[in-house]
A and B are shown apart, each in its own frame.
Chain A
C-alpha cells in the first residue's frame, strides 16, 4: 500500500517534471525564434507564416530522408508547418543524399532530399515506385554557399581565386607565403606556416559540389579528377562531416577547409576573386545571386539546375550547392499526396523561402522557384 502510494507520488512528480521541462523548452524555442526573426524586418514572420500555410485537410505522417546539408532548413520548416497543420507529422532523417535517393527508389519515402540531381539510372529505378507512368523529379528548394574557412591569426581578409584554391587543395601550394597567395593578398602579412588543407573523409554532396566548382573554374588544375562525392586529390588532411572539418580548422593553426556557411560561425572565411569588380565573401545573398545565373536543364517537370560556376556577376558567390526535394511527378502515394503537396507548397512559398536566410541558407531566386511552385501544384 505504502509502496504503491510512493510510486504514484513518484509518477506525479515525474510527470510534473517532464511537463514542466516541456513547457520551459517550448518557451525557450519561442524566445529564440522571436529573437532571430526580430533581427530582420520580419518580426511578425512567425505569425504570417502560419497563416499562409494551406493544410488542405492534409493528414498523416510524411517520411522523408536524404541530404544532411538541408536538414536544418527542413527542421525550421517543419517547426512552422506543424504548428499550422496539426494533423501532419514530418519526419526527415538526414542520413545523406545517397541513402535518401535509395530509400526513395525503394518506395519508403514521401520525398527525398539530395545534393545532386537524380542520375538517369535513379530516374529509371523511380519508375517502379511512381505508379501510372510517373517518374522522380528534382525540385530545387535550398541553396547554400560553401564557405572556405581558414585559421591564420592576423590575416582577416584573405582573398583566393579558383586556381589558387585548387592548388592549395591538391597540395601544389604548400605554405601560406606562396607567391600565388601573396599576389592576391598584397597587404596581408602571410606567415610561412605550412598549409593543412582539410577535406571530408566521408562521401559527401558538399565535396561533390566543391569539386564541381573547382573543375569548372580551375580546369587546368582540377581537370584531371573525375569528381564525385569521394575526395580524390592527393595530400591534405581529412575529417568526418562538415562539423568535423570545421572543428579541425578551428583547432589547427594554418588550416583551411570547406563546409556549408552555417558551420563557419566564429571563423574567418576567404573571399573569392571571381573576376568581378571586387572579391566576394560567402553570404546567403551572394549565393542567391549566383544561383540566379543557373539554367534549368531538367526535362519535362524535372527542374534540375546547371549552375554557372564561372559567373562574373558583381556580388555573386560562385561556390554554391543547391539541394533538391525529389518526388514523383505522377503516381505519388495517395495517402501522403495531400500532405506532401501542402508541405512542399509551403517551403516553396515566399514565407517558406524567407526562413532560409535565418539559417545560413540561400533562397532559390524567383524565376526558378515560381516554376517549382507550378510543378508542385501539378503533382498527382
Chain B
C-alpha cells in the first residue's frame, strides 16, 4: 500500500523532464510574485498562531483572576454564586450537562444522519434526492434561537407522552425515571441538539459517500453482493473517517450551542440521576444566562468556564484526529 502511494506521488522516472522541472522550480522560487506569495502565506500562518495564542493567554489570565479567589473547588463545586462573599463557583454540573447532552445528541443524530445520507446517495431516485438534500441544507440555516422557540413551545409540551412512556417501561433503570415535572431536561436538550446537528452531519456524510469510487462498488456487485452488502463492504469502510469528521463537526456545534439550550432547559446546579428530570446546565447556556447581570468578577468566572469548554473541545477534536489517523488506509486519498 505504502509503496504504491509513493510511486504515484513521486515524479515520473524519465530524467529529462525531472531536471527541467527542478530548474523551473528553483527559478520560480526567486521570482518576486512567488516570494510575495510565500511571505503572505507564511505571514497568515503566523498571524493565526499569534491570534490563537493571544486568545488563550487572555482566557487563561482572566480565568486565573477568578479561580484564585474562588472559595469552592473549581472542578467539583455544585454551585455558581460569584456575587456571594466569598464567591463560590464550580463547573462540575456544567461539564456533566455539556458532555451528557452532546452524547445524547450524537447517539440520536449520527445513525439517522448516516441513514439519510445513504438513502440520498444509494437508494433515492435522483429526482427526490436533490430536493431532500436542499431541504436539509436549509435546516442548517435556521438560527438557533428559532430552534429554541420551537423547542420551548412545541417540542417540550409534546415530550410528556414520550417521557411517561420511558418512565413506565424503563423507569426501573434510574436514569430514565421521571417525576412528572415539565420535560425540560437534559434529554430534551439532547433531542433538540440532535435535530440541530443533523444537517451538517448528513451533508458531509453524503459528500463522502458520493466519493466512493464507482469501481469499488461495481467490483462488489460483480462478486454477487446485494446493495446492502455493497454498502457494508465498500461504502461504509471507505466513508468511515469522513463520517467521523462529520460527527465531530456536529459535536462541536452541540458542545457550543447556547440559545436553544438556554430556552429549553430548566437549569440548576445539581447533577440529577435521571436524564428526564429537569435540571443541569451547559457551559454555553450558563455563560449566556449569567453574562448580562454579572459583575467584573462574575465575568472572569464565566470566562474560566469558557476556557474549560475550550479545552474539552480541543480534547474531542484531538481524539477524533487520532481515530481518523488510525484509519487512514481506508481514506479516499490512496484508494
**A residues engaging B (CB < 8 A)?**
95-99, 102, 194, 196, 201-205, 226, 228-232, 234-240, 244, 247-248, 251-252
A202 to B85 CA separation, bound complex (whole angstroms):
19
Give the complex CA separation of A244 and B184 in angstroms: 13
**Residues of A with C-beta under 8 A to B82:** 230
How many inter-chain contacts with C-beta < 8 Å in the A-B complex?
A: 75
Q: Are B263 and A240 in contact, CB atoms less than 8 angstroms apart? A: yes
Q: Dominant SS at the B interface?
A: loop
Instruction: Known pairs A102-B295, A204-B293; list 8 more (Cβ under 8 Å).
Output: A96-B292, A201-B266, A203-B83, A203-B292, A228-B84, A230-B83, A238-B268, A240-B263
Q: Top 9 nearest A-B pairs by Cβ distance?
A: A96-B292, A203-B293, A202-B289, A228-B83, A98-B293, A237-B266, A96-B293, A201-B267, A226-B84
Are the CB atoms of B292 and A194 closer together than 8 Å? no
Chain B residues whose CB sits within 8 angstroms of the CB of A205 once the complex forms: 293
Q: A226-B84, A230-B80 are in contact. Are A194 and B180 (CB under 8 A)?
A: yes
Q: Judge whether A237 and B296 touch: CB under 8 Å.
A: no
Alpha-carbon separation in the docked complex, A209 to B152 (Å) = 27
- Nearest B residue to A239 via CB reads B266
Q: What are 18 residue pairs bridging A and B, where the CB atoms are less than 8 Å apart in the complex?
A: A95-B292, A98-B295, A102-B296, A194-B179, A194-B181, A201-B265, A201-B266, A201-B267, A202-B293, A230-B83, A230-B290, A234-B268, A236-B268, A237-B184, A238-B267, A238-B268, A240-B262, A251-B157
Residues of B within 8 A of A247 (CB): 152
Q: How far is the CA of A98 from the CA of B298 in the complex (A)?
A: 10
In angstroms, Cα B268 to Cα A234, docked, is 8
Chain A's closest residue to B296 (CB) is: A102
A231 to B269, CA, bound (A): 10
Shortest CB distance B260–A (Å): 12
Q: Mark B172-207, 1 if CB is under 8 A from A, else 0.
A: 000000011110100000000000000000000000
Tell whether, in the assembled complex, residue B81 and residue A196 are in contact, meaning their CB atoms are under 8 Å apart: no
Binding site for A on B (CB under 8 A): 79-85, 152, 157, 179-182, 184, 262-263, 265-268, 270, 278, 289-290, 292-296, 298
Residue of A nearest to B262 (CB): A240
In the assembly, what is the distance between CA of A204 and CA of B293, in Å? 6
A201 touches B289 (CB 8 A): yes
- Residues in A with CB closer than 8 Å to B293 are 96-99, 202-205, 229
Give every chain B residue within 8 A of A239 (Cβ-Cβ). 266
A201-B262, A226-B84, A238-B266 known; A248+B292 contact, CB < 8 A: no
Chain A nearest CB, measured from B262 CB (Å): 6
CA of A95 to CA of B293 in the docked complex: distance in angstroms?
A: 8
Roughly how many angstroms separate A376 CA and B126 CA in the complex, as a whole number? 74
Q: Which residue of A lies closest to B83 (CB)?
A: A228
Q: With the chains together, A347 CA to B211 CA distance in Å? A: 68
B152: A residues at CB distance < 8 A:
247
For B267, what are the chain A residues with a Cβ–Cβ distance below 8 Å? 201, 238
